[in-house]
Chains A and B, each alone.
Chain A
Amino acid sequence: MNKPLTTSEMASDDLGPLYAPHKKVYPQHVSGTFRRIKWGLMAFCLGVYYLLPFVRWDRGIGAPNQAVLVDLPNSRFYFFFIELWPQEVYYFTGLLILAALTLFLMNAIGGRIWCGYLCPQTVWTDVFYAVERLVEGDRRERMKKDADTDKGGLKLQRFAEILLKHSIWLMIAWWTGGAWVLYFNDAPTLVTQLVTFQAPMIAYIWIAILTGTTYLLAGFAREQVCVYMCPWPRIQAALTDEWALNVTYKRDRGEERTSLKKAAELRAAGQPAGDCIDCYQCVAVCPTGIDIRDGSQLDCIQCGLCIDACDTVMTKVGRPTRLIGYDNDINIQRRAEGKAEIYKIVRPRTLVYAAIIAVVGGIMLYALLNRSLLDVNVLHDRNPIAVRLSDGSIRNAYTVRLLNKRGFDRVVALDIEGPTNAVVHVVGADSVTPDRPMIVVKRDSTTELRVLVTAPAASNPEKSIPLKMRVTDLGLGEVATGTDNFVSP
């Protein structure tokens, strides 16, 4: 029954207040399928995050042998067999597109799987909750202890508990920040430096920042991040559709909720009775403190813990499980009409997402496997754009950058295709065979050259003509070409 709104309620915003005063959430321990999945994924995610910097990858002498490394001083990014240069940041764009599409696909299939199981906020908050439970006890104990503390001041034992909890939290937070900086420097070296206080100041600053944010976000902000700070709930609400599986309370089965005793009486009398016994277990275990029976809502991160809690209760009272379960909007409608439930994972939306992911991923993989390891960039001098020499010939100057992405020095020759009989001169060329300058390009680096191209008077082009510069690795035969123009004054 809806109560009529009071005047002040009508005067307030129709959508409710933008921010509700914080009510502390005391999630209760629960065990079951989804809890086990969450433990597993948590161990996996944290394992990857904390241990990945220590994985080695042999790249030869002089190159870093860390599998995943962001080498800022040398502007290189290493990821196992991949080495990216600053010119190749578009791979990160591709990665972001892939990440967004994967999120969309996950959303189309199973709602906020990301939020419930994989989001760092969820994972670390879950760890922090586990610590809290270990130190202070489960929901009831924690509520009682907090209430006692509010009433009777801080007892010594309680103080010790709180101190222990925060110490463990800070240690986890510190280790989280510590692992972060290991991605930016050789991990074993940096660990030694950190311990002996020899590490660069910036490392300590970043550890402090990540320690602080982890401690604050996972220890205190918790579900507030999901509800007030994160844009994803808002965005995903626009992306989801009637086929997406969401954690749902099956209202048709649960209502009218009654006590266990009354339900038994009703059933004995051959009358229908709801399965929900209003035990509030689903609310007690919820990490965001919501009641899933109110329907799909922004605050729900869809972690499935209420499913585990409800299943436990249903098993105890001898009713079928999955009164709360992953379900879609279509089935809510169909059950109301007495039709069979249907689930569709393969449908146009998921197929399109999967196809785009496959295409983008394919393009990226192709580009990565075929990325050129020798490159030449040509830039024409603009001032002056062309010079007439005393014998009437014309000279154009270029700034040419050679990129050697291989792990060893190599000798390349520069050839040009342009004006007839044009002569090429490279300032500071290492050696010159007749009209063919040779240049040494050091391993994993670039070399900038000043290249002068002179066209004799007899073959002066009338107008601007295309010019091709071709560099050839004399050892491997690899060829790269750059193009520009040859201009007459």
Chain B
Amino acid sequence: MAHHDENFDAATGKTTTGHSWDGIKELNTPLPRWWVLTFYACIIWAFGYWIVYPAWPLLTGHTTGVIQYSSRADVAVELANLEKIRGDKMVTLGAAPLAEIEKDPALLALARARGKAVFGDNCAPCHGSGAAGAKGYPNLNDDDWLWGGSLDQIQKTLQYGIRSGHAEAHEGQMLAFGRDGTLKKPEIVTVANFVRSLAGLPTAKGYDAAAGTKLFADNCAACHGDAGKGNPEMGAPNLTDNIWLYGSDEATIIETVTNGRNGVMPAWIGRLDPATIKALTVYVHTLGGGQ
């Protein structure tokens, strides 16, 4: 009689496993057959996996599996495919004259899209993701261009950079008038106030306008021009406008005159292909500041 079996559980009418913990017994409920079969199938699958895919770590490497699968190779294929997809379009872009790109809606859209992506990867660290710039890094949305804002000028700046060390790079020095002893501290204060007066900013009390004018003419006009309008040939900023790369307050200008300013923009030729630089040129030009 099953009912007298000590492994029989009267409440459920089922047998137990016979294991007992503090008087609690476990019902002997078999796993569903489909579950067991799935489990066995998984084990068999695992053996197959070991053979087919890279699976086992070895001392100096790993088993490569019979199909020689590599996720790195997959990525390479994906990247090659991407280039293939872009291929023709970027070739067309590379062949088009700069001035024509903005007139062709399809090319303009491509250049802006590609330019925006490349800008985010390469330019945003200094110029900001929206190209709004920061102190010492020009805002590319405005119309103040130290080295010129035409398409060709932007392209040249992108290709060779500024003080980048490239042979074709823009070169121009803002001298350290204070550090190298050309100007004394009081003279620097005077010329700084003169520069502020050029931009229509208020000057300090007791400032000697005549001395400032003479100091500027002697030391600064060679690059910045007699009227302080600047010179894109030398990257000399226009000192009469509202836009200041490093700041327009007296202390900042004094520091600029004392120590000089010589920011660096890397050359991108060789790092980015010509078609991509073209796209970037158009993108920057259409941000709003292009001339």
Q: Which residues of A contact B (CB under 8 A)?
A: 381-384, 387-392, 395, 397, 427-428, 447-448, 450, 452
| 19 CB-based A-B contacts, threshold 8 Å | A383-B128, A384-B139, A387-B132, A387-B139, A388-B142, A388-B242, A389-B142, A389-B144, A390-B142, A390-B241, A391-B242, A395-B141, A395-B142, A395-B288, A397-B287, A428-B102, A447-B105, A448-B109, A452-B288
Considering only residues 255-291 of chain B, those with a C-beta below 8 Å from chain A are: 286-289
Query: Within the complex, what minimum Cβ distance (angstroms) separates B264 from chain A?
Result: 23
Q: Are B144 and A427 in contact (CB under 8 A)?
A: no
CA distance A384 to B286 in the complex (A): 14
Q: Are B241 and A391 in contact (CB under 8 A)?
A: yes
Residue of chain B at shortest CB distance from A442: B105
Query: Within the complex, what minimum Cβ distance (angstroms) separates B183 from chain A?
Result: 27
Residue of chain A at shortest CB distance from B104: A428
Q: Which residues of B contact A397 (CB under 8 A)?
A: 141, 287-288
Q: Which residues of A contact B141 (CB under 8 A)?
A: 384, 387, 395, 397
Given contacts A427-B286, A428-B103, A428-B105, contact A388 B130 (CB under 8 A): no
CA distance A415 to B103 in the complex (A): 21
Residue of chain A at shortest CB distance from B109: A448
Q: Which residues of A contact B128 (CB under 8 A)?
A: 383-384
Does chain A have a CB within 8 A of B98?
Answer: no
CA distance A427 to B102 in the complex (A): 7
Query: Within the complex, what minimum Cβ distance (angstroms) separates A334 from chain B?
Result: 49
Residue of chain B at shortest CB distance from A382: B130
Which listed residue, A383, A447, A450, touches B286 by the CB 8 Å rule?
A450
Query: Within the complex, what minimum Cβ distance (angstroms) separates B142 from chain A?
Result: 5
Which listed residue, B103, B105, B112, B142, touches A387 by the CB 8 Å rule?
B142
Which listed residue, A390, A448, A450, touches B144 by the CB 8 Å rule?
A390
Residue of chain B at shortest CB distance from A439: B105
CA distance A383 to B140 in the complex (A): 12
Which listed residue, A389, A447, A448, touches B242 by the CB 8 Å rule?
A389
Q: Are A427 and B108 in contact (CB under 8 A)?
A: yes
Q: Which residues of A contact B287 (CB under 8 A)?
A: 397
CA distance A397 to B128 in the complex (A): 16
Given contacts A383-B130, A387-B289, A390-B143, 18 further A-B contacts (CB under 8 A): A382-B130, A383-B128, A384-B130, A384-B131, A387-B132, A387-B139, A387-B142, A388-B142, A388-B243, A389-B142, A389-B144, A390-B242, A395-B288, A397-B141, A397-B287, A397-B288, A428-B105, A448-B109
Size class of the B contact interface (CB-based, 8 Å): 20 to 34
Q: Are A428 and B108 in contact (CB under 8 A)?
A: yes
Q: Are A383 and B129 in contact (CB under 8 A)?
A: yes
Does chain A have a CB within 8 A of B238?
Answer: yes
Q: Are A390 and B286 in contact (CB under 8 A)?
A: no
Q: Which residues of B contact A427 (CB under 8 A)?
A: 102, 108, 286
Q: Which residues of B contact A388 (CB under 8 A)?
A: 142, 242-243
Q: Which residues of B contact A428 (CB under 8 A)?
A: 102-103, 105, 108, 286
CA distance A389 to B145 in the complex (A): 11
Residue of chain B at shortest CB distance from A384: B132
Residue of chain B at shortest CB distance from A447: B105
Residue of chain A at shortest CB distance from B144: A390
Query: Within the complex, what minimum Cβ distance (angstroms) separates A380 from chain B?
Result: 12
Considering only residues 140-185 of chain B, those with a C-beta below 8 Å from chain A are: 141-144
Q: Which residues of A contact B142 (CB under 8 A)?
A: 387-390, 395
CA distance A381 to B286 in the complex (A): 13
Considering only residues 40-67 of chain B, those with a C-beta below 8 Å from chain A are: none
Most buried by A among B130, B141, B142: B141
Most buried by B among A389, A391, A392, A395: A389
Most buried by B among A384, A388, A452: A384
Indicate with 1 or 0, residue by residue over B95-109, a CB within 8 angstroms of chain A CB atoms: 000000011010011
Q: Are B108 and A389 in contact (CB under 8 A)?
A: no
CA distance A427 to B151 in the complex (A): 14
Considering only residues 198-247 of chain B, those with a C-beta below 8 Å from chain A are: 238, 241-243
Interchain residue pairs A-B with the least CB separation, the first 10: A383-B130, A390-B241, A384-B132, A387-B141, A427-B286, A428-B108, A390-B144, A389-B143, A392-B242, A452-B288
Query: Within the complex, what minimum Cβ distance (angstroms) separates A444 from chain B?
Result: 16
Q: Which residues of B contact A452 (CB under 8 A)?
A: 288
CA distance A450 to B241 in the complex (A): 26
Query: Within the complex, what minimum Cβ distance (angstroms) separates B133 from chain A?
Result: 8
Query: Within the complex, what minimum Cβ distance (angstroms) separates B259 from chain A?
Result: 25
Q: Which residues of A contact B243 (CB under 8 A)?
A: 388-390
CA distance A382 to B131 in the complex (A): 11
Residue of chain A at shortest CB distance from B113: A448
Q: Are A390 and B105 in contact (CB under 8 A)?
A: no
Q: Are A387 and B288 in contact (CB under 8 A)?
A: yes
Query: Within the complex, what minimum Cβ distance (angstroms) separates A375 from chain B?
Result: 18
Residue of chain B at shortest CB distance from A440: B105
Residue of chain B at shortest CB distance from A448: B109
Indicate with 1 or 0, residue by residue over B112-140, a CB within 8 angstroms of chain A CB atoms: 10000000000000001111100000010
Q: Which residues of A contact B112 (CB under 8 A)?
A: 450
Query: Within the complex, what minimum Cβ distance (angstroms) separates A229 from chain B?
Result: 20
CA distance A384 to B139 in the complex (A): 9
Q: Which residues of A contact B143 (CB under 8 A)?
A: 389-390
Most buried by B among A387, A395, A397, A427: A387
CA distance A392 to B240 in the complex (A): 11
CA distance A447 to B112 in the complex (A): 14
Most buried by A among B129, B143, B238: B143
CA distance A169 to B112 in the complex (A): 56
Q: Which residues of B contact A391 (CB under 8 A)?
A: 241-242
Q: Are A381 and B130 in contact (CB under 8 A)?
A: yes
CA distance A441 to B243 in the complex (A): 37
Considering only residues 66-112 of chain B, those with a C-beta below 8 Å from chain A are: 102-103, 105, 108-109, 112
Q: Which residues of B contact A381 (CB under 8 A)?
A: 130
Q: Which residues of B contact A448 (CB under 8 A)?
A: 109
CA distance A392 to B241 in the complex (A): 8
Most buried by B among A395, A397, A428: A428
Q: Which residues of B contact A382 (CB under 8 A)?
A: 130
Q: Which residues of B contact A384 (CB under 8 A)?
A: 128, 130-132, 139, 141
CA distance A387 to B131 in the complex (A): 11
Q: Which residues of B contact A390 (CB under 8 A)?
A: 142-144, 238, 241-243
Query: Within the complex, what minimum Cβ distance (angstroms) separates A169 from chain B?
Result: 27
Residue of chain B at shortest CB distance from A452: B288
Query: Within the complex, what minimum Cβ distance (angstroms) separates A437 from chain B?
Result: 13
Q: Are A383 and B288 in contact (CB under 8 A)?
A: no
Residue of chain B at shortest CB distance from A389: B143
Query: Within the complex, what minimum Cβ distance (angstroms) separates A52 from chain B?
Result: 36
Q: Which residues of B contact A450 (CB under 8 A)?
A: 112, 286
Query: Within the complex, what minimum Cβ distance (angstroms) separates A155 from chain B?
Result: 32
Q: Which residues of A contact B288 (CB under 8 A)?
A: 387, 395, 397, 452
CA distance A448 to B241 in the complex (A): 33
CA distance A362 to B53 in the complex (A): 61
CA distance A389 to B112 in the complex (A): 22
Query: Within the complex, what minimum Cβ distance (angstroms) separates A489 from chain B?
Result: 10
CA distance A428 to B143 in the complex (A): 18
